[in-house]
Amino acid sequence: MTTLRALECLVALVEHGSMSAAAAALYISQPAMSHQIAALERELEAPVVERLGRGVRVTAAGHAAVKSARIALRAAENALEIGKLVGSGNAGRLRISCVETMTPWLLAPILRLWRSQRPDVVLDLSEFTSPDDMVEVLAAGNTDVTVGPRPARTEAHVEVIGRQELVVVAPLRHRFTELPAVPVQALADETFLHYHPSNAMATCIDEFVADHHVVLHPVLRTRSPRTAAQLAAAGVGVTIVPASALIPRPKGVIRPLQPMVSSDVIAMVAAPTDALVQAFVADLHRRGSATRGFAGRMSHSRGPTSCDRRWAAVHSQAR
């Protein structure tokens, strides 16, 4: 297989008309130039130059080959340019998976920024209701970075972006309107909008209320915290949702839990050294730092909470 260097020598020979001038243009010796041309002739099984008394003449085979040689050299230059752009995080394709509530709450400003500042990066976004489903997609190599709460188990590299509070949502004019925070014991008297067992929120809530000797009365179950928040605001019951589920903000009563409960928001990546992934995770951290507080914003408190201990216990059992 001929080399790009040999093709480069052929193009230079055609453009400059002599072995010495072509060698000088490429900053190589004339013997090195002759060696590359000879190697190309062996590959083509035909001469590309005719040696004359005081120089050379490019043959028909050489002129025919030089057209494709120019195309190959331009393709090689393009490949290097694209590689540099991708390596610097300014081009390529980034596949993002997130829990559905994270898109408007956390990702929308980052995606808008990337479209304006990194127009050569193609962004693919997939949304899920369960972080455990995203673990499978990441392990299968079908996504580059996931964003959401902690799954039950993962072998991927994990970056903690921040924390989000769990809050109570109830209909307007509900008795919780008069409360600054909803004691967990008050949930025992309410019809409750719960979660499907496939959503990690179901286990977290069940074990949290069990710690406080509270029995819930589920009226229905959903896989989506956003759906749970909207149904609660519509009067179907009361529910507990992560703060990210409050976009769009439901037209209901929103109150913190007492005691307060929060959970990690994490990014999982399969290739932590990839430039695009590193840049995206860095923007996630910056966005997380800018979204602190209650009612749809992120907290950076460091102490472990009840939900953290639940997910840690599930993680340990899974192993």
Q: Which domain CATH number covers 120?
A: 3.40.190.290
**Is the separation of the CB atoms in 206 and 197 below 8 Å?**
no
Q: Looking at residue 78, which CATH number applies to its domain?
A: 1.10.10.10
> Are 268 and 281 contained in the same domain?
yes
Residues paired with residue 99 on neighbouring β-strands, in sequence order? 128
CA distance 7 to 2: 8
> Are 39 and 174 contained in the same domain?
no
Provide the pLDDT for residue 89: 66
Kind and range of the H or E run holding 66: helix 60-87
Where is pLDDT greater, at 58 or 106?
106
Query: Which are the contacts of 307, defined by CB distance < 8 A and separation ≥ 6?
Result: 166, 204, 208, 261, 262, 263
> Are 175 and 35 contained in the same domain?
no
| Assigned token pair, 73 | 């050299």
Can you tell me the mean pLDDT for 153-181?
Answer: 93
Checking if the pLDDT of 187 tops 80, the result is yes
Q: Write out the residue range of the structural domain in which residue 70 sits.
A: 4-87
Checking if the pLDDT of 314 tops 70, the result is no
| Assigned token pair, 305 | 């909470």
> Are 100 and 164 contained in the same domain?
yes
> Are 115 and 259 contained in the same domain?
yes
CA distance 242 to 246: 8
pLDDT, tens digit, 9 for 90 and up, residues 70-82: 888 888 777 776 6
Checking if the pLDDT of 8 tops 90, the result is no
CA distance 118 to 290: 21
Query: How many domains in the chain?
Result: 2
Checking if the pLDDT of 304 tops 80, the result is no
Cα–Cα distances (Å) from 118 to 89, 143, 292, in that order, read 8, 19, 27
Q: Which of 214, 202, 204 has the alpha carbon at shortest distance from 264?
A: 204
Mean pLDDT in the chain?
Answer: 84
**φ/ψ (deg, to 5) at 66:** -70, -25
Checking if the pLDDT of 298 tops 60, the result is no
Q: Which of 199, 258, 203 has the alpha carbon at shortest distance from 226?
A: 199
| Assigned token pair, 15 | 């453009």
Can you tell me the mean pLDDT for 130-155?
Answer: 90
Alpha helices in 99-130 (DSSP H): 102, 108-117
Provide the pLDDT for residue 10: 85
Residues of the chain above pLDDT 90, percent: 46
Checking if the pLDDT of 120 tops 60, the result is yes
